[in-house]
Amino acid sequence: MNKVFLISISLLLVMADDFSYNQKMYWFEHQLVDHYDKLNKNVFHQRYWVVEENFVPETGVVLFQICGEYTCINDIKLRLFIIQLAKEFNALIIILEHRYYGKSMPLGKESLKDENLRYLSTRQALDDLAYFQRFMVLNKKHGIKSQNPWIAIGGSYPGALAAWYRYQYPHLVIGALASSAVVESITDFKMFDTQIFLSAYKSGPQCAKDVQDMNKYAEQQILNQGTKEEFKRSFGAEKLTDLEFLFFFADAQLLIIQYGGRSELCKQLKDKSITEQIDYFRSVIEEGSYMEYGSYYLKNDKYDENNLTPSRQWMYQCCSELGWWQTSPLNNSVRSTLIDIQFYKDFCNSIFGGIRKNIFPDDQLANARFGGNELNVDNLIMTNGNEDPWKWSSVLVNQGSILTYEINCENSGHCVELYTPKDEDCDQLKQARKDIISQFRKWIQDHYASIQ
C-alpha cells in the first residue's frame, strides 16, 4: 500500500511576521536502498518535512530543499529566504533528509558499519531525490499536481547536489539555486587557507597574523612533549593524535570566518596576548566538536538515535569520493604545514581502511561525472560569498547558461543569501535575492506557458 505516515510533530517557528511557518514531518516508506541493483528490492524509511501554508496547487511551485550532511529537522530555521520565496510563488516547500543522516538510515541500526557504508554516495543521494519526487507527483501527495514545476535549492554540499540534480534530471526540475555549491572535487585544497588569510586581512594585517600565530602556538604546544597533553586536555581533546588535534584546531578556527564571523573574531583577538587569544578561542568552540576530527571517535559504527552525529558518515564521503582536504599553501598558510596530503591519506585509512585498501578520493573521476567547475546546464543559479573559502570549489563567473553571483559584503560567508533577509543587509546581497526571485519568476512563467 502506498502510504506516508504523518508523525505528530508540527513545529511552529515564528521568527518575524514575514517569516513564520509551520513545518510538519513525514516518513517516505518506499525509498530504495540501492538504485543500481535491480535485484535488491530492499527499501528504507526516509524522513522529510513539508511547509504547505503558502501552497496554491493550481498556480504554485514546489521548492525542493535538499538536505545534506547533518540531521535535517531544523534545516531552514535560520535560513528563511526560502520562506520569502514560498510566499512570493505560492509554493510548497519539501525538505528531504539525506540518506545515512539523522534518522534516514538505509540499513537501520547497522547502517554505519564498514560493510554497509557502500550505499552512501552522491549518486545514490541524487537518485533518492528523483525517486522520491516521482512518487510524490504520481501519488498526488500534499496536493501536488502533475503540472506543478519543481525547483531544487541547496547550500554547500546540498548546493552541489542541487546543481547536479538539475544537470542529471533536467526533466524533473525546471531550475536550481545552488548556494556556495562545492561542485569541484579538490583533493589538495590549498586555496581554502589562502582565502581564509585574505578574508582575515580585510580586518587588517594584524588579524591575519593573529590567526596564523594562534596556529603556530598550537603547533609548538603539540610538538613539546612537556605541554602537549595538557594543551589537548584543555580542549577536552586528549584522545586525538597530535596531527588530528592540529587539524581540529585549524578547522574550528577557520569555520568562524567561513560562516561570516570574521569581524567579530578579529575584534576579539585584537590587542590580546597569545594565551588570551587561545582562551577566547577555547570558549567559543562548540562543546564536543573535537570528536569530528579524531579517528578514535570516527571508528565508532554504533547508531544512536538519541545522539545523531553525522561525523562518521561525512568523513566517509570525503575519504571515499569528495575530498576537499585543506592543506597549507606555499605562502600565507594559516594552519600547520604538518597537515598535508599524507596526513589525510593516513587519517582516512586509519578509519576506513577495512573497507578498501588505500581508500582516498579520485577528484578527476568525481569531476568527470558532473563536470566539476566546468559544469554547464541551463536554469541554474550559483551564488557565493566573497569571503567564503569554499567559493574556490564552486563556479564564480557566468559560463554557458549558468548565472553566478559573488556577493561582496562585509562578512559575506557561506550560503550568505539563504539566511533570513534583514533590513541591514548590504545592497549587493539584497540585489542578489531580487535577481533570484526574478529568475524564479521567469522559469515558472515559462513552464506554465509551455503546458498551456
Per annotation, catalytic residue among 180, 210, 414, 425: 414
Residues 350 and 374 sit within 8 Å (Cβ to Cβ): no
Amino acid at 294: G
| Beta-carbon count within 10 A of 277 CB | 19
Q: What is the pTM of this model?
A: 0.94
- Distance CA(298)–CA(306), nearest Å, equals 17
Q: Which residue's C-alpha cell is 498556480?
A: 59
Q: Would you write out the chain's pLDDT as a tens digit for each of its 452 residues?
A: 333 323 322 333 334 457 788 999 999 999 999 999 999 999 999 999 999 999 999 999 999 999 999 988 766 677 899 999 999 999 999 999 999 999 999 999 999 999 999 999 999 999 999 999 999 999 999 999 999 999 999 999 999 999 999 999 999 999 999 999 999 999 999 999 999 999 999 999 999 999 999 999 999 999 999 999 999 999 999 999 999 999 999 999 899 999 999 999 999 999 999 999 999 999 998 888 999 999 999 999 999 988 889 999 999 999 999 999 999 999 999 999 999 999 999 999 999 999 988 999 999 999 999 999 999 999 999 999 999 999 999 999 998 899 999 999 999 999 999 999 999 999 999 999 999 999 999 999 999 999 98
d(C-alpha 50, C-alpha 93), whole Å: 6
**For the sheet containing 43-51, what is the strand order?**
6-13, 21-32, 43-51, 92-96, 62-66, 150-155, 175-179, 380-385, 403-407
Active site residue 45: no
Judge whether 414 counts as a catalytic residue.
Answer: yes
- Name the catalytic one among 156, 180, 185, 393: 156
Burial class of residue 439 in the structure, from the number of CB atoms within 10 Å of its CB (0-12 exposed, 13-18 middle, 19+ buried): middle
Query: Is 447 among the catalytic positions?
Result: no
Q: Which of 388, 393, 425, 447 is catalytic?
A: 388
